Structure 1
Amino acid sequence: MTSITGTITINVHGSDNDQYVCQLSSSVDQSTDEIRCCGQTKEHAIAIALEQLASKYRQIAEESQNQDWLAVERSESGEVIQKHYHVILHYERIGIAESKFEAMQDTLLGNTVVENAKVTLIEIDANLSVSPLTE
Structure 2
Amino acid sequence: MSLITETITINVEADENKQYICILSPSVDQPIDEIRCCGQTKEHAIAIALEQLASKYRQIAEEGQNQDWLAVERSESGEVIQKHYHVILYYERIGIAESKFEAMQDTLLGNTVVENAKVTLIEIDANLPVQPLTS
Matches within 5 A, 1:1-135: 1-27=1-27, 29-135=29-135
1:51-87: per-residue Cα shift (whole Å, max 9, x none)? 0000000000000000000000000011000000000
* Displacement after TM superposition at 1:30 (Å): 2.7
Gaps of at least 5 residues in structure 1 are none
Count of matched residue pairs: 135
- The one-letter amino acid paired with 2:126 is A
Separation of aligned partners in 2, 1:2 and 1:28: 20
Structure 1 CA distance, aligned partners of 2:105 and 2:90? 17
Q: Which amino acid aligns with 1:24?
A: L
SS at match of 2:89: strand
Identity over aligned pairs, percent: 87
Superposition deviation, residue 3 in structure 1: 2.6
The CA RMSD measured in Å over matched residues stands at 1.0
TM superposition shift of 1:26: 1.1
Offset at residue 29 of structure 1 (A): 4.3
Q: Once superposed, which parts of structure 1, at least 4 consecutive aligned residues long, lie more than 6 Å away?
A: none
Q: Secondary structure at the match of 1:50?
A: helix
Q: Which structure 2 segments of 5+ residues have no match?
A: none
Distance 1:44 1:71 in 2: 41
Letter in 1 for 2:129: S
Give the TM-score normalised by structure 1. Answer: 0.97
Q: Secondary structure at the match of 2:51?
A: helix
Inter-partner Cα distance in structure 2 for 1:30 and 1:99: 41
Name the TM-score, length of structure 2 as normaliser.
0.97
